[in-house]
Amino acid sequence: MSISKKLRNQNKRKKYKKKKGADHLQPKKTSINHCLMCHEEEEIPYDVVRDFDLMDGGDPTTPPRFNCEQCGGEMYPEYYKGMHGQEYKLSDIL
């Protein structure tokens, strides 16, 4: 095999190196939230919702709240199990 072919093969191998770790293989978890005013649906990363739940020192019977990007209305999760074990469902309030 000539030197130029060897170099091309080495370059091909470098392009297709495996990514380290398995983070890129796992789907990102999201919480689906619905606007109570305009009924817009928005996906919010689960980590963000969980962090807001941890920071909230208020009423544990209400889920972490977000504002709708379309109309500014209040968003409510389709389903979310809080850090204190409380379950929040959109079907419970509609």
- What digits encode the pLDDT tens for the residues 56-90? 777 788 888 899 999 999 999 999 998 888 899 99
The whole-number average pLDDT for the span 7-35 is 66
Residue 39 has, within 13 A of its CA and on its CB side, a CA count of: 1
Encoded amino acid at 50, one letter: R
The predicted model gives 37-65 an average pLDDT of 88
The percent of residues above 90 in pLDDT, for the chain, comes to 37
Please tell me whether residue 54 adopts helix, strand or coil conformation. Answer: helix
Q: Which residues lie across from 59 on neighbouring strands?
A: none
